[in-house]
Amino acid sequence: MKLRFTTFLFILFLFTGPSLLVNTAAAQNLRIKDYNNNGWYMYFGDHKLSDKWGVHTELQVRRFNVLKDPQQLLIRTGINYNMTPDAMFTLGYGFIETHPYGDYPAASTFPEQRIYQQLQLKGSLGRIGLTHRYRLEQRWVKPAGADDYTYLNRARYFLKATLPLAGSSLEAKEPYLAAYDEVFVGFGENVKQNVFDQNRLYFALGFKFSDAASAEVGYLNQIVQKANGVVFEHNHTLQLGLTYNLDFR
């Protein structure tokens, strides 16, 4: 998949636009910054059942103060449909449990349930491997102390680049560098203040053990606008991720 000039400009905006958006908003309103140090420990797997169909599995244990205190538990699964070798559609479900953390915590632990639709595209730009991910989420969040769930809509765009360190392409038993940016935008009548929901910028060192397995250790800079539109979290996050894809064909 070759990258055209317009796509390049969009990628440039992706990496610079969120910070401009946040800075513009900050100039208009009083903002409170909440700085946190977190650790996210993650497993991902896309398991093929046939040439076209497969299953997605995912578990993320997120900790506040890097490891000491609970922050969030995320369990996500889905059904994959491989349209081409480089294009995959997923329909899935996620359960998230969020704990109080930071200087402006929630009143108590609260749950969230999601349904999501996702299109993932793979390509390259020279030696750099690219992954685009477009995701729509329908979210049911039960805030601390509330009797009922609140329904929210959110769109996400994710762009990841990988650079092999041992050759012109990434092969098994080789290291690589990785970087991604993901923008979250809320929409719908219940979004209120945080149309800009969050942005995640990530850099990592990875190792590809085999065609099925890889691991990454990296740093995530996460900016989150809380629902009140006033508090902005600036989360410095250690990420440890394992990907292991099983083939049941």
5-244 folds as Porin (2.40.160)
Query: pLDDT digit string (tens) for 64-74?
Result: 999 999 999 99
**How many other CB atoms are found less than 10 A from the CB of residue 222?**
19
Q: Which of 95, 94, 96, 114 is nearest to 106 (CA)?
A: 96
Q: What is the pLDDT of residue 192?
A: 78
DSSP β-ladder status, 231-244 and 150-164: unpaired
Mean pLDDT of 206-217: 97
Closest-CA residue to 234 (of 18, 17, 58): 18
Whether the CB-CB separation of 195 and 187 falls below 8 Å is answered with yes
- Residue 191 CB coordination number (10 Å): 16
Cβ-Cβ contacts under 8 Å for 24 (sequence gap 6 or more): none
SS3 readout for 221-248: EEEEECCCCCEEEEEEEEEEEEEECCEC
20 — pLDDT class (breaks 50, 70, 90):
very low
More confident residue, 92 or 230: 92
Which of 75, 76, 83, 77 shows the shortest CA–CA distance to 53? Answer: 83
Q: How far apart are the first and last CA of the chain?
A: 27
Q: For 99-108, how does the pLDDT look when each residue is reduced to its tens digit (9 = 90+)? A: 999 999 998 9
Amino acid, res. 43: Y
Read off the pLDDT of residues 33-50 as tens digits, 9 standing for 90 and up.
Answer: 999 999 999 999 999 999
Domain segments of the chain as ranges: 5-244
Query: Nearest-CA neighbor of 248 among 74, 49, 90, 37?
Result: 49
Query: How many Cα atoms sit within 13 Å of 245 on the Cβ side?
Result: 16
Predicted TM-score of the model (pTM): 0.86
State the CB neighbour count (10 A cutoff) for residue 147: 6
Query: For the residues 162-189, what does the mean pLDDT come to?
Result: 94
